Amino acid sequence: MEVDRIIHEPARLRILTILSGVDLADFTFLCTMLGLTKGNLSSHMDRLEKAGYIEVEKSFNGRIPHTEYRLTKVGRRELSEYWARLDAIRSLRQTPDDAAASSPGESGGNAMGLELSSSAFQFGETIPTKYTGDGPDVSPPLHWGEPPGDVESFALISDDPDAPVGTWVHWVVYDIPADVRELPEAVPTEEQLDDGTKQGMTDFGSIGYGGPAPPRGPEHRYFFKLYALDSLTGLGPGATKKQLLAAMEGHILAQSELMGRYKR
């Protein structure tokens, strides 16, 4: 079983994934999101256009050219088929141990009473549209119990391990004060909150919560992972998930997770 080699190229896969979640995306936006040079992006877009996977719309703002891209019906269909084939290949290659490792927290991931929960959805349930890219896209309310030990701060990471481009980071929050036991609905998308809580960079290239916005296809799992730490992270606002994980190493007293599902 083979996959579409045009789509399978990492940069083009990310391009199509972004386009599957929006009506139109302009050239500058894609350059910024993907970190590609103009020449490199142009080359990928030419290849996708020739394959019939995208449409190009060109206009002028005064004398300044403006180029936008849209995913075609053919591109959407081929992208959906690509994911289906990729899932089939993965299932053929997956061992029982691999399956267990790739499904963290399917029966819950709560430790020592910390227990992360939400009044918006239960573990394993569908995340309401309100908290996704198909709705207002505000963060869901999250609550947790009393942590063990001498906690100095909390941190939270939300990500999607089922994204076709690899795990996609939706929220990075850290230096949550030790006496806090919830993140309310619709946390402002600011680098630092009034109580000192900091927010980091998501894979959308923005600060604060970015809800589920998967491409059409199989259901995705969205994990909200809470960490009780014995110290502050020492990070400034805008840190990435990778930077937060490095800062937390050796400081995690307990952790808990909540998982919701969403598909288009």
Q: Which of 227, 28, 200 lies closest to 111 in space, CA to CA? A: 227
Residues 48/54, Cβ–Cβ less than 8 Å: yes
Q: What pLDDT does 191 receive?
A: 95
Q: What does the pLDDT profile of the chain (264 residues) look like in tens digits?
A: 577 889 888 888 889 888 887 788 889 888 887 788 888 899 999 999 999 999 999 888 788 888 999 999 999 888 888 877 776 765 554 444 443 333 434 434 444 457 899 999 999 899 999 999 999 999 999 999 888 778 999 999 999 998 888 889 999 999 999 999 999 999 999 999 999 999 999 988 899 999 998 888 889 999 999 999 999 999 999 999 999 999 999 999 888 889 999 998
Q: What pLDDT does 104 receive?
A: 39
Q: What pLDDT does 59 receive?
A: 87
The pTM score is 0.62
Q: What pLDDT does 216 receive?
A: 84
Q: What pLDDT does 197 receive?
A: 97
Q: In the chain, where are the structural domains located?
A: 5-93, 101-262
**CATH fold for domain 5-93:** Arc Repressor Mutant, subunit A (1.10.10)
- State in words which class domain 101-262 has: alpha beta
